[in-house]
Structure 1
Amino acid sequence: MHPDVAKLVEAGRIPRPVGERLSQLAPGNFCIHKSFGAGKVTDWDLPAKKVTIDFEKSTGQTMELQFAFQKTEWIPAEDFRAKKIEQLEELRTLSKSDPIALVVHLLQSHGGSMTGDALEKELSGAVIPEPTFKKWWDATKKTLRESRLAAVPQKRTEAIVLRTGDRSPAQSLVADFEAARDIKGMIRALEAIAADIGAFENDSDALKRLLSDIDEGAKKAARVQLGQALQLVAARDEVISSSKALELESSAVRLSDLLLSADPSRLAEEAGTLPSSRQRAVYEAFPNAFGDIWVSKIVKVFDSVGARGVTEIARILLERDAMPALVTHLRSAIARRALGPDALIWVCRERKGPAAEIFSADVGASVLNLLENDHLSDGPRKTSRLQSLLGDDKTLLTDLVAIMDINETRNFARRLLDCPVFGELEKKSLMARIIKARPETAELVNGSNQKRPDEVLLVSWESLEKKKTELDDIVRNKIPQNREDVKIAKSYGDLRENFEYKSAKDMEKYLGFRRTALEKEIANSRGTDFKGSDAGRINIGTIVTLADAAGAETEITVLGAWDSIPETKTVSYLSEVGKALVGRAPGETVQVRDEETEQMQTLTVRSIRPFNP
């Protein structure tokens, strides 16, 4: 304990634990700060409760003692980060004479492990010149793996782990697996084993002992954590394929076994969370799992496995000459407007390759339909990547309108102009591409159509009040709170690596965008209770009875722009179903998409009556 602090403790002015922590901030000691990096305490003023620290990224930083207590952590003088401050030239010399010793010292200072990204951040520029770092690290990494002193994974984002004790590298890797407390830990341990399979060249028995544990873990996880069970078995198969001494027992759990026992409704969601290489292993197991019907099984999950999944499934079907089944499925889904955003993105990107047969005018209608429906829903955006694709792919719209006739092109352009997802500048940019390819569409943005007034939205008083309440909460509570959050986060230091500041600024952008959108929607809306609606035809504020070909009847209520309630078959007049119904009279037929099956069905209008709130 520092002598000056010891006097305060003996006098009873501060508790001993506080004195011990305060002594760590005595001049000459070293510390680490999340934003400023490592630093050396140069001075302190105990009566004024201030301390001055020379940090790597900010020299002469004066801090309140209480703040320094909370935001810094003591490090010993022999710590790598402390040596960077006072013994930098020695570290630079060591990087040339003994790079392995340098890395080991760095890992020891970080508790025995750190990611490749973190290691580069610590060394590049300060210890090793930035232009030569990659070459230096590639050579050092190879030597480090050969030395078996540390487990070095392939990915930069995974931890390099220093091996300690008297155990061999193989024994250390097996011990890591056996010490794993959950499936994720077992998977990480298997990945480390696969990356360092050479350590088991003379000790394959150690690996064989793990196989039964993996089987047991996979069986247990499959009941509640199917995705992790699939990943565990896939990681095991990678280890086996890397080792010449290992063979899978006939009774062992295989990916095909997990697929057969999986709930089909969970399979796509769980598989879609896996890395691409593991997803591919899962989809390649479909033939063994399902035999002759494997193509129909894999096509059913195509729409729901995410961006990586659709790419892998399409590649497998193409390699095995099974694309016709996918083409048939996609054509049907697009016609029913039932294809998800990731599958639609794949169709658009592969329009001159495997998806050439599917790329049609219906693809454009499906894209706009998805964007509009996603915009009207209250949940998180699911179509951001699809919207970005329209802008980023400079020839997508040109290719789309090239295969449309003039009426289809005009209808598509009108829908794009009316789509609430796009801002005015974005609409102009997209329309410019369409007009360049099809000059006859220029009339849509010329003359009276150039400055179209915003359409007045008819809404229920209840939904209007909800929008106003949300806007009031944003203006009165969330925006002021966000301003405070930005100020507080800014005080934490280096804005380039200040997560709290970035998060607060992202929220600031979102709140500003949401406020503008709500203000525009409210200004363009007109509240109504729907009383006195004309029931001679289907109008806003009417209940219509529809009958299918078999005579089965269903009732649909058509209400305001923000009043869709699928559970009660209440639709907005702006929805696809609402637009198809409005204006129809009793006796007329109408094509309506079923909300549950997504199938188009022909219905006859039986009767119409006013909605009674």
Structure 2
Amino acid sequence: MHPDVEKLVEAGKIPAPVGERLSQLAPGNFCLHKSFGAGKVIDWDFATKKIVVDFEKSSGQEMDLQFAMQKTEWLPQDDFRAVKIEQIEELRKLAKTDSVALVIHILESHGGSITGEAIEALVSGAVIPTKEYKKWWDATKKAVKESRKAVVPTKRTEAIVLRDTDITPAQALLADFEASKDIKGMIKALEAIAADIGAFDEDSEALKQLLTDIDDGAKKAARVQLGHAMQLIAARDEVIGSNKALELDPSAVRLSDLIAGSDLSRIAEELVALPSTRQRAVYEAFETAFGPEWIEKIVTVFDQVGARGVTEIARILSENGGMPVLMEHLSSALARRALGPDALIWVCRERKGSAEEIFGADVGASILNLLENDHLSDGPRKTSRLQTLLNDDKALLSDLVNGMDLNEAKNFARRMLDCPVFGDLEKKSLMARIIKVRPETVELVSGQNAAKREEPLLVSWESLEKKKQELEELIRVKIPQNLQDVKIARSYGDLRENFEYKSAKDMEKFLAHRRAALEREIALARGTDFKGADTQTVNIGTVVVLADEDGKEQTITVLGAWDSTPERKEVSYLSDVGKALMGLSVGDDAKVRNVESEQMQTLTIKSISAYHA
């Protein structure tokens, strides 16, 4: 207790606990204020009950003594924040010579736990120049991980936690696993063990109990988190493969068990989010799970597992003689226009390799079909990567139309010019590539075709309002949020391997493109309630009854550009079916594609009536 304060306590003027707290604010001591930061007490005056503190953010701050006792927190002299006030140069030297020691000092000063975000607030600018901080922190974070003196999470908003210094490296890794609160944490901890398996060379017994815990965790998670369960088992198998002393119990759950016991569509859905290495481990287990039928089984999920999965499955099939089965599956899907964007991208990239035999007119039609359908749907866009490939791969269109006959090339070029997905500059650029190898198509970019592309889009008032709402949400919510996401992801450092940053930048491009497309579409749109449609021929706003060769009838309603509802047999006048019907009269035949079989069929128009909303 400070001598001056001790006199007041002995005189009975203040209680001893108050004296202890008051002594912490004696001149020369350090304190922390929520708003002003850390500070050093310069002077106090019992007569006026005032205290003067040099805070980081407010030098010479005069405060009421009682207020200071309530609003400040005492800091020991060796606390990082106190040291930063008077010994900043020593901290700067330590940051250069032993950055791990600096972080440990910060952790010890904060009760053993602090976020990366909070460390940046303490260090950047004061100890490390702001411009150098990210590079310094990336190296420091890696060094802290390697020292195993603290648990370092991936995200800067999660707490870095100081470890117990008396445990071995192997025990520290196991402690991280045991401290995991959910299966995601178990996966991260197990991956860290796999990456540092050498730490267990003399302590493999510790891993044996770990295998039991993994088995229990995977079995529980498989019911509701199948993807994470498969990832955990794949990481476990990697650990076992790296340690000769470990053997898997015959009763332990295996990847093949999880695959065989689950619906393939669910497996495909869960696999999309897994890293490539984990996906490959799952695909390699298909043979054990399904025996001789494994190739047929794995082909069925080829188009459902995302870009990484498509690549991994193709590689495995190539290594195991399964490519003929895959080509047959892809050829059938292309003919039915049922191939998704990731599989189409793979076919395009492998057009001079594995997919050469199926690369042709059906690929081009499937690409445009997907782009148009995705454009007309109200959900999130799924074909942005496919459109990017079409623009960036300068030889793709040339290779595509080079293998078509003249009519196929003209039809493809005409359809591309009419496709609402592409902007005017895009169309000119893409058509230039086509014309270079097929000069006969040059006539399509002149005369009436050019004017036709700028015709208004007739749409329902409801769909127009939805587009306007989408644009407003894009401008007010999604684009600002994406800018924030880019800023946060950039702070994670090392942009070359920063998945979050790459994803955020890809989304930035998509949002910009989507905004431009929406603004152009809305400018061209003309709202209508479809009243007064001419029913002499099939027009926008008419209900058409058609019959096939067996007399079986079906009803199709032709509506605006954005009004397709397949389940109600409502089609856009810009769709393939809509274009085939427009202008026809009762008794005329129309060739349309069957929705279920995807085969072309001839239908006769039996009646045309006005649509009523």
TM class, shorter-length: 0.7 to 0.9
The alignment partner of 1:278 has SS state of helix
Q: 1:80 to 1:571 in 2, by over 3 A?
A: farther
| Aligned pairs (5 A) from 1:268-347 | 268-347=268-347
Partner residue in 2 for 1:64 = none
Displacement after TM superposition at 1:269 (Å): 0.7
Say which of 49, 54, 59 aligns to 1:43: 59
Q: 1:446 to 1:279 in 2, by over 3 A?
A: same
Is the 1:435–1:442 Cα contact (8 Å) retained in structure 2? yes
Partner residue in 2 for 1:34 = none
Aligned-partner Cα distance in 2 for 1:527–1:300: 43
**Quick one: which amino acid aligns to residue 369 of structure 1?**
N
262-271 vs 279-288, which deviates more? Answer: 262-271
**Quick one: which amino acid aligns to residue 232 of structure 2?**
L
Is the 1:543–1:609 Cα contact (8 Å) retained in structure 2? yes
Aligned-partner Cα distance in 2 for 1:403–1:100: 61
Displacement after TM superposition at 1:365 (Å): 1.5
Q: 1:544 to 1:102 in 2, by over 3 A?
A: same
Q: 1:583 to 1:23 in 2, by over 3 A?
A: closer
Is the 2:548–2:604 Cα contact (8 Å) retained in structure 1? no
Partner residue in 1 for 2:608 = 609
Partner residue in 2 for 1:520 = 523
Q: Does 1:561 align with 2:575?
A: no
The alignment partner of 2:357 has SS state of coil
Q: Give the fraction of aligned pairs with identical amino acids, expressed as a percent.
A: 58
Q: 1:114 to 1:294 in 2, by over 3 A?
A: farther
> 5+ residue gaps in structure 2?
1-13, 15-20, 26-30, 42-54, 64-70, 493-499
The alignment partner of 2:608 has SS state of strand
Is the 1:542–1:608 Cα contact (8 Å) retained in structure 2? no
Aligned-partner Cα distance in 2 for 1:443–1:88: 74
Say which of 25, 50, 58 aligns to 2:36: 25
Aligned-partner Cα distance in 2 for 1:92–1:26: 19
Q: Does 1:440 align with 2:440?
A: yes
Displacement after TM superposition at 1:305 (Å): 0.6
The alignment partner of 1:382 has SS state of coil
Is the 1:113–1:162 Cα contact (8 Å) retained in structure 2? no
RMSD, aligned α-carbons: 4.7
Partner residue in 2 for 1:196 = 196
Q: 1:286 to 1:547 in 2, by over 3 A?
A: farther
Aligned-partner Cα distance in 1 for 2:381–2:85: 47
Aligned length: 545
Is the 1:587–1:604 Cα contact (8 Å) retained in structure 2? no
Q: 1:96 to 1:368 in 2, by over 3 A?
A: same
Is the 1:177–1:185 Cα contact (8 Å) retained in structure 2? yes
Is the 2:341–2:370 Cα contact (8 Å) retained in structure 1? yes
Aligned-partner Cα distance in 1 for 2:512–2:280: 38
The alignment partner of 2:215 has SS state of helix
286-295 vs 75-84, which deviates more? Answer: 75-84
**Quick one: which amino acid aligns to residue 606 of structure 2?**
S
CA deviations 1:51-81 (Å, max 9, x no partner) are: xxxxxxxxxxxxxxxxxx9xxx999886768
Q: Does 1:261 align with 2:261?
A: yes
Which is higher, the Rg of structure 1 or of structure 2? 2
Aligned-partner Cα distance in 1 for 2:569–2:558: 9
Aligned-partner Cα distance in 2 for 1:157–1:353: 45
Q: 1:21 to 1:409 in 2, by over 3 A?
A: same
Displacement after TM superposition at 1:454 (Å): 1.5
| Aligned pairs (5 A) from 1:443-522 | 443-447=443-447, 449-450=449-450, 452=452, 454-464=454-464, 470=469, 474=472, 513=516, 516-517=519-520, 519-522=522-525
Displacement after TM superposition at 1:441 (Å): 2.3
Is the 1:538–1:544 Cα contact (8 Å) retained in structure 2? yes
Aligned-partner Cα distance in 2 for 1:355–1:157: 45
Aligned-partner Cα distance in 1 for 2:264–2:571: 30
Is the 2:543–2:611 Cα contact (8 Å) retained in structure 1? no
Is the 1:463–1:563 Cα contact (8 Å) retained in structure 2? yes
Q: 1:97 to 1:513 in 2, by over 3 A?
A: closer
Displacement after TM superposition at 1:369 (Å): 1.2
**Quick one: which amino acid aligns to residue 40 of structure 1?**
E
Q: 1:46 to 1:556 in 2, by over 3 A?
A: farther
Aligned-partner Cα distance in 2 for 1:257–1:303: 23
Aligned-partner Cα distance in 2 for 1:516–1:326: 41
**Quick one: which amino acid aligns to residue 200 of structure 2?**
F
Is the 1:303–1:310 Cα contact (8 Å) retained in structure 2? yes
Displacement after TM superposition at 1:233 (Å): 0.9
Partner residue in 2 for 1:349 = 349
The alignment partner of 1:592 has SS state of strand
Displacement after TM superposition at 1:509 (Å): 5.6
Aligned-partner Cα distance in 2 for 1:574–1:375: 12
Length-normalised TM-score, structure 1: 0.75
Aligned-partner Cα distance in 2 for 1:114–1:27: 18
Partner residue in 2 for 1:232 = 232
| Aligned pairs (5 A) from 1:380-399 | 380-399=380-399
Is the 2:542–2:608 Cα contact (8 Å) retained in structure 1? yes
Displacement after TM superposition at 1:446 (Å): 3.5
Is the 1:581–1:590 Cα contact (8 Å) retained in structure 2? yes
Displacement after TM superposition at 1:281 (Å): 0.5
Aligned-partner Cα distance in 2 for 1:363–1:354: 15
